[in-house]
Amino acid sequence: MNRIEKVMRRIKENNEKAFIPYIMAGDEGLDALPKQITFLEKAGATAIEIGIPFSDPVADGPVIQAAGIRALQEGTTLKAVIQTMAGVRPIVHVPLIIMTYMNPIIAYGIEKFIEDSYHAGVDGLILPDLPVEEEGLVAPLAEKYGVEIIRLVTLTSPLERIKEISSKGKGFIYAVTVKGITGARNRFDKQVGEHLQRVKSVSSLPVFAGFGISTPLHVKEMNRYCDGVIVGSKIVELFREKELSAIEELIKAANIMRTIK
């Protein structure tokens, strides 16, 4: 059983709230990646999303774009990230999820990428520019190797499309909470809660909220409506500023919600 599926079962059985931090691989050099992963696991992360730097991201806001540029300037490549993840996998037990765009995967070779990811201990993939209609490029190979594809729904996704997406896979649904790119927000549209509840009502998979979440209050608020949160830009920013205690506070905000129904 895939590690993601195991964790999702645990969340459901124990009424837990999940916290998935995002980090940009290669920001501050690839030597920093194992340290960040082990820190986040120790701090209580449910799983860890690892971004691959790409020159033309379509979903990333200014903070993650800047981190990606720094990582590219450090010479970070997809192959090097996978090799680094293979090195840290023996000492890390939480699921590791790669977030990337299709261009680097196609350049790498789709099957070779999936195979190498599997052998490196990668548990899942988030591919923002791969629509359901085109995922035949990747999904059969991912299923063959037991690597879970994590699918996204947005505030503008029709209910029938949400149902279709929610019927696939054994991981979780990534419910985007803003109409736009990643990045910290001061507040969210009042329809976000309704959106998360709508996704929850038709999904057999856990539903995690992501994009814009940046404070412990945001974490607690989103967890009223869904099964967990994904925090990216704020985590990237806090790592760069060496504010590790603030990262721990964000994760703690999810942990204290675990017994709240």
Residue at 39 is within a domain: yes
Tens-digit pLDDT profile for residues 142-169: 999 999 999 999 999 999 999 999 999 8
Answer yes or no: 60 catalytic.
Answer: yes
Answer yes or no: 49 catalytic.
Answer: yes
Residue at 186 is within a domain: no
Residue at 73 is within a domain: yes
- Interacting residues of 203 by C-beta distance below 8 A, sequence separation 6+: 162, 166, 173
Whether the pLDDT of residue 260 is over 60: the answer is: no
49 phi/psi in degrees, rounded to 5? -95, 125
- In this prediction, residue 188 carries a pLDDT of 62
Percent of the chain with pLDDT over 70: 93
- Residue 233 CA to its chain's centroid (Å): 12
Q: Which residues pair with 207 in a beta bridge?
A: 173
Residue at 180 is within a domain: no
Residue 35: other Cβ atoms inside 10 A:
12
Provide the domain count of the chain: 1
Residue at 207 is within a domain: no
Residue at 167 is within a domain: no
- In this prediction, residue 189 carries a pLDDT of 65
Residue at 80 is within a domain: yes
Residue range 71-90: mean pLDDT, rounded? 97
Vertex 75: Cα angle to 65 and 67 (nearest 5): 20
CATH number at residue 46: 3.20.20.70
Catalytic residue among 5, 16, 27, 60: 60
Tens-digit pLDDT profile for residues 40-69: 999 999 999 999 999 988 878 899 999 999
pLDDT interval class at 182 (50, 70, 90)? low
Q: Which residues pair with 176 in a beta bridge?
A: 210
C-alpha gyration radius of the chain: 17
CA gap 73, 65 in Å, rounded: 12
CA gap 245, 251 in Å, rounded: 10
Catalytic residue among 41, 49, 221, 237: 49
Q: Which domain holds residue 46?
A: 3-150+212-255
Residue at 57 is within a domain: yes
Contact present, 46 and 208 (Cβ < 8 Å): no
Give the helix/strand (H/E) hosting 150.
strand 148-153
Beta strands 228-231 and 207-210, pairing class: parallel
